[in-house]
Chains A and B, each alone.
Chain A
């Protein structure tokens, strides 16, 4: 009897895909008559009994749908799959409309896109849930904030830093200099106060630096890839360049960083004072992580002076990344600007940040003009250098200052500030030395493009401030003098910056890229770091020979920033106020270059992180709603900072707002998590549970706007005839029904009691069991958690990983058939170190012991 047992085969990837194909493809007789049908200008073959949607799917044409379940007839609830048919006024929905011979169908027209977009906007106006939490959305680099805070809570600060380093290599540096846009949008603010996100990663980063000082190697977010043999030159060792170097090195490229100054760091070293960012203890220590990956540094080498882009390419660098920042201080354009005593703020800081006294500065009266971080650094350093009177003058209101949150600290330390005034001329004595500055009062007019009110001069309001020195800090532009020397093809933009694409970072010249301030204009450190990282992805893809235009699409998919609703008030009973960093007294710190903020203790760090509400959605990566929301422009399209002009929409621009539902999460069931607030009432779970499984746990409840697909009487899933098959979670297009993360030991099948009913085969959501010519039990081991469960367990939630359903849906089918996959359907770009995980699915343990006794050999027919 045993020799009739089927051979156990090791299914390869192709076979697994094929198996999915055979079990999931819509059932139809291949003998049904074929006819030709025109869809999107292509002539295709349809078969009698097929719907338009089925014909499209068979031919790799994607028609968006949220409620279509391939095993069941079209339901027609989402109205996303509308198509236009020639000769018909109203667009039919393709999931329910039979394909007919000689039909002419269009699946993408402006009208259809408009209908789909309206549908999505309507869903989002009642979708009381988040993809990424608002803090992560607002971070220019999209750090997994809930992720590292969770690690902090558990006291695992190395893991916390590792999570942080997936998107920013420098937790300690950013923990000191970041303006923390994330904290402004923290949902905890609805309860009492936002989480101290910046101070929390500062603590984690500092623990890593401490361990590093004791001899440990810096933690890495991903394994370093084997050497690719490609060489990349990064010009500039500031935050953008070093961030790019870090991720390029992780991808296995040989990176050399060129630095004009004698020490690396760029603005971090020469623009930010010691008291905010200690150079040796933090900057150099954290840069160690980059050198640790094998990145080489060449100092005292300036682009255009010591070498040119031509030189680098001739030397055999496969890619050159220009990240030289902005160092040319803008001019005021007023009389007397060249007087003795008018100093470029950056020139001043270059000396002063290192703690060295600027010549002749002590005892003078200083006026600082500008409202950015540089002006703040100039003022506060001037106080520390013993100036008798420091006055900061800014032309807009205080709340419009980029560095507004630092003003009160500056005032505490003894500086003055005057707002809404703009200089008109600089007064000098006959020797040409500054004696004062004349200002004019500004009124605030209509808001300008930045959303701030435009200052307008008020005639007759001139006044003079007497002073000895004027520090100019009114913004910087990049120095592009090198463009004329050995850099043919690289151009400046109309705004005097380096012309480079916002997604591919390509300049006009092949192999030359530009990123950071030199491309965007002066920005914050965190924006520069984000720029550098994204540039590294683009360069890596380019070095692999991929099409840069395809990257643009993939970048949009890989790093979307969907925001759906304004923040829904979160009102917990427990109040637990934010733990603030203590600081040295103002009168003490204004004499000192020592870092003035006193870091958390470990207990404080853990307690503060524990306040995080963990807003992330577990369905990220395989949520159809999110995917279509991105595709149809109903969400923010990219993570670009607004100045890049790529972030096209925001939540406030959803045309529809109004009442929305907030349902209670049901986690009473052992295997299935229900989050009804994420439900879009597509009815898939109800239909599958009723028609396929036969359990009928879900149905539509209530009518009109309050309709909800839920359990009878909205009770716990435990009160239903649920068989825990997971089909509902599998079919759910959003995160409303989720398999709970869990680790199973192993399922034993008692074959002596099996009646070959096949119910387990029907019910198994992952096709672990199947009916063949002989009833075969798959001997999968579940000692290790399955890969998708692992991913769902929030370990990798900032990456986009595709699972069973997407495979099943059509990508795998298309690829298995050798069909062309449209570019926009390619999976999001993954860091190479994570991309390999998918192969683990469907693995069968080698030599799995078959259970004792002969297995069943009856042919089993359904």
Chain B
């Protein structure tokens, strides 16, 4: 394991990261109200403005159309159009619908969602309320990691205040529309962050994914049509209602308008959270707010374990969905881990694969056994016990795992090895053909070389 990366990962999970100043020209959407909220228990001036506007002057359908026009897409990694998802849910011919705001944030060390919920709880709760109005849901759940106690309590404070005020709650006198929002703290493995797994976990069942379709927007929590959105997605909703779809659509990239929250970690001078438009490139984010890299930058791990490695010369890739996917990475959790030359990619990719295999639920065969075999193949490279044909085998197995995948963890599990092999072929070659670890990380090889 790359020691440096490990230290940063560990550090990230226990200490709150600062919110970094964004570049001057970057818009502030998700954290627009954060400054006001940074004072304890302060209520931002705009709080509930958007919700009241939606409830009083817009029909649910109009809200959905507004969100569709804005071009807002899911920030959890999938990038599905939020408006389309809401519309599908709203069109289900049943009475009861549910909103689930996914703030579980399964990535080890990631605290993007947590920071958002701590610093802008009003935006999240209001986004949930607007979504509920749009799809006519009368109950909503915000899922928070069990360890994110500050986030949970701030969300609960906001909800309690709004209920007391009559904005939401069982008897929402202000809007005349009952809405119950609940904050649930869940503990569990990486796979719990996956949407169908999250629903099963909320129902108190074993955390295992279900086959889609039917999508949760058709059959979700307790079999009701359910909108599952990331909290980053929902936090953008009040801003859109306040400023209009056009204003949002004009922010950043046309394909992927709006901003997202990123966590900068690893070999950067200033680790922290930053809000950046999706049109910004990785270099701009790392260079500016991150204060660039200590040592020589080698690669960036984008989007946590299921994301992918980008080489140093691909840093001009914008954060938007299409370009990043083309480069072999996934925005996923929104973490950017800068890796310097002291990191061994073979070692780190194997470790990620092993981590994902261990965190899997074990339901499907290709995931349960296949990810372990992938990790073992990667491990063999690190220890110099690689067999001829292993490289091709990793590729074959990865494509079979992806094709038959049940959930996003399974589909993403081969990403570290595959993206590593794609961009760092020379380093893999060194391990496979010459038994050398250029970074000097893989110890067994080094030892074997000394013995020879």
Contact = CB atoms under 8 A, between A and B. Distances in A.
Q: Do A and B come from one complex?
A: yes
B36 interface: no
Contacts of A91: 403-404
A681 B368 CA distance: 10
Interface stretch (A74-82, A184-192, A423-431): A74-82
Q: Is the interface of A mostly helix, strand, loop or mixed?
A: loop
Contacts of B81: none
B366 A79 contact: yes
Given A115-B400, A659-B376, A681-B362, A705 B368 contact: yes
Nearest to B387: A657
A861 interface: no
Given A82-B404, A97-B213, A122-B373, A703 B396 contact: no
Interface in A674-727: 680-681, 683, 699-700, 702-707
Nearest to A76: B211
Contact of B403 (A77, A111, A122, A126): A111
A74 B211 contact: yes
Interface string B354-381: 0001111111111011111100100000
A125 B363 contact: no
A118 interface: yes
Contact of A704 (B206, B211, B372): B372
A37 B74 CA distance: 34
B6 interface: no
A267 interface: no
Contacts of B208: 700
A658 to B, nearest CB: 4
Interface string A625-663: 000000000000000000000000000000110110000
B211 A703 contact: no
Contacts of B370: 118, 122
A728 interface: no
A704 B353 CA distance: 12
Contacts of B372: 658-659, 704-705
Contacts of B361: 700, 703-704, 707
B397 interface: yes
B434 to A, nearest CB: 24
Interface in B186-219: 189, 191, 206, 208, 210-211, 213
A332 B10 CA distance: 75
Contacts of B191: 703
B407 to A, nearest CB: 10
A703 B207 CA distance: 10
Contacts of A700: 206, 208, 361-363
Interface string B55-83: 00000000000000000000000000000
Nearest to A680: B365
A847 B208 CA distance: 53
A119 B365 contact: yes
A115 B403 contact: yes
B403 A705 contact: no
Nearest to B214: A98
A93 interface: yes
A532 B36 CA distance: 91
Interface string A93-126: 1001110000000000001001100110011011
A705 B404 contact: no
A90 to B, nearest CB: 6
Nearest to B369: A122
Contacts of B362: 681, 700, 702-707
Contacts of B357: 704-705
Given A114-B400, A118-B397, A659-B372, A78 B365 contact: yes
B406 interface: yes
B368 A79 contact: no
A703 B376 contact: no
Contacts of A659: 372, 376
Contact of B211 (A97, A111, A126): A97
Contacts of A96: 210-211
B393 interface: yes
B365 A122 contact: yes
A97 B397 CA distance: 24
Given A76-B406, A703-B358, A705-B372, A119 B366 contact: yes
B365 A123 contact: yes
Interface in B307-366: 357-366
Interface in A121-161: 122-123, 125-126
B221 to A, nearest CB: 18
B365 A704 contact: no
Contacts of B189: 703
A91 B393 CA distance: 21
A567 B360 CA distance: 28
B365 A77 contact: yes
Contacts of A656: 369, 373, 393, 397
Interface in B379-411: 393, 396-397, 400, 403-406
B369 A125 contact: yes
Given A700-B208, A705-B357, A683 B363 contact: yes
Contact of B369 (A90, A111, A123): A123
A402 B104 CA distance: 65
A76 B364 contact: yes
A74 B406 CA distance: 13
Given A76-B210, A125-B373, A704-B362, A90 B403 contact: yes
A122 B206 CA distance: 24
Q: Which of B206, B211, B369 has the most CB of A within 10 A?
A: B369
A93 B407 CA distance: 13
Contacts of B376: 658-659
Q: Which of A79, A114, A681, A707 has the most CB of B within 10 A?
A: A79
B358 to A, nearest CB: 4
Contacts of A90: 403, 405
Given A700-B363, A703-B189, A126 B400 contact: no
Q: Which of B208, B358, B376, B400 has the most CB of A within 10 A?
A: B400
Interface string A366-382: 00000000000000000
A831 B115 CA distance: 72
A252 B368 CA distance: 52
A229 B403 CA distance: 57
A703 B213 contact: no
Contacts of A78: 364-365
Nearest to A699: B206
Contacts of A77: 363-365
Given A125-B369, A699-B206, A79 B359 contact: no
B418 to A, nearest CB: 16
A638 B436 CA distance: 43
Given A97-B213, A115-B404, A79 B369 contact: no
A704 B368 contact: yes
Contacts of A655: 393, 396-397
Contacts of B400: 114-115, 118-119
Contact of B404 (A98, A119, A680, A703): A119
A316 to B, nearest CB: 57
Nearest to A656: B373
Interface of A: 74, 76-79, 82, 90-93, 96-98, 111, 114-115, 118-119, 122-123, 125-126, 655-656, 658-659, 680-681, 683, 699-700, 702-707
25 contacts: A76-B211, A76-B363, A76-B364, A79-B365, A79-B366, A82-B404, A91-B404, A93-B404, A111-B403, A115-B404, A118-B370, A119-B365, A122-B365, A122-B370, A123-B365, A656-B373, A681-B365, A683-B363, A700-B208, A700-B361, A703-B359, A704-B358, A705-B357, A705-B360, A705-B362
Given A122-B369, A123-B365, A681-B368, 20 more contacts: A76-B363, A93-B211, A96-B210, A96-B211, A118-B366, A119-B366, A122-B370, A125-B373, A655-B397, A656-B397, A658-B372, A658-B373, A681-B362, A681-B363, A700-B208, A704-B357, A704-B360, A704-B361, A705-B362, A705-B371
Which 4 A/B pairs are nearest by Cβ-Cβ distance? A707-B362, A96-B211, A118-B400, A122-B369
